[in-house]
Amino acid sequence: METRDTFTYKKNNIIKKEHDIRKLDFIYSYNNFKKLIDFSAALLGIIIFSPILIAISLLIKLTSQGPVLFLQERIGKDSKRFTIYKFRTMIVGCPNVPTDEMKYANQYRTKIGGIIRKLSLDELPQLFNILKGDMSFIGTRPMIKEHEYLIHERKKKGIDKLYPGISGLAQVNGRDDITDQIKLNFDQKYMESFSFIIDFKIFIKTIFKIMKKEDISL
């Protein structure tokens, strides 16, 4: 015979499972809605910013040796790998580590790299990542493959069910100036509050961060 505590435990477990299923259904539905909005906005953004994209490309080629774009393998939705695009702001041959982990980062910066990063213009090529369906405007952080522990934790918590974003909750709350564990906590918080409202708030905060040039390692 079941005790009251056993019955309560089973009941709570069922409620939790039902909540998790509803949450996954909502994530699936909202992800599809976001994909449509992201694709349309990215296409429009590429058209509007095409003169800036061309100008930056020319400046990079004229002021430093190497390719215009920095390509790096990242971990995205469902823990699948994809290639992220950024304007190259570092010289060819610099250490292939995140900027916040790089010692003496300034000595590896190109002549215009600091300006490009300060204005967050290095992120513009990621509009093409959005067109390809690899990323979203707002989402979790696109992880580098070397962070195996964090990738495992994100998968365990279900964070990898979301698309990585150009901006996100972690990006507007410290970006390069907070630890990986804090970034993971922000990604989890974003997943738990996943909705249009949180995306809109992050979008507005991102605009202010760019205008104030905050939380950017130079």
Q: What is the pTM of this model?
A: 0.81
What confidence category does residue 91 fall into, taking pLDDT thresholds of 50, 70 and 90?
confident
Q: Specify whether the CB–CB gap between 29 and 196 falls below 8 A.
A: no
Q: Is the pLDDT of residue 14 over 80?
A: no
Give whole-number Cα distances, 118 to 11, 122, 139, 208, 216, in Å.
53, 9, 21, 13, 7
**Where exactly are the structural domains of the chain?**
25-212
What confidence category does residue 103 fall into, taking pLDDT thresholds of 50, 70 and 90?
low
What gap in Å lies between CA 70 and CA 45, rounded to an integer?
20
Share of the chain above pLDDT 90, in %: 51
Q: Is the pLDDT of residue 4 over 60?
A: no
Q: Is the pLDDT of residue 142 over 60?
A: yes
Confidence at residue 100, expressed as pLDDT on a 0 to 100 scale: 60
- How confident is the model over 71-85, as pLDDT tens digits? 999 999 999 999 999
Which DSSP string corresponds to the chain?
---HHHHHHHHHHHHHHHHHHHHHHHHHHHHHHHHHHHHHHHHHHHHHHHHHHHHHHHHHHHHSSS-SEEEEEEE-GGG-EEEEEEE--B-TT---S-GGG-TTGGGGB-TTHHHHHHTTGGGTTHHHHHHHTS-EEE-B--EETT-HHHHHHHHHHTGGGSPBEEE-TTTTTTGGGS-HHHHHHHHHHHHHT-SHHHHHHHHHHHHHHHHHT-S---
What gap in Å lies between CA 8 and CA 201, rounded to an integer?
38
Confidence at residue 167, expressed as pLDDT on a 0 to 100 scale: 93
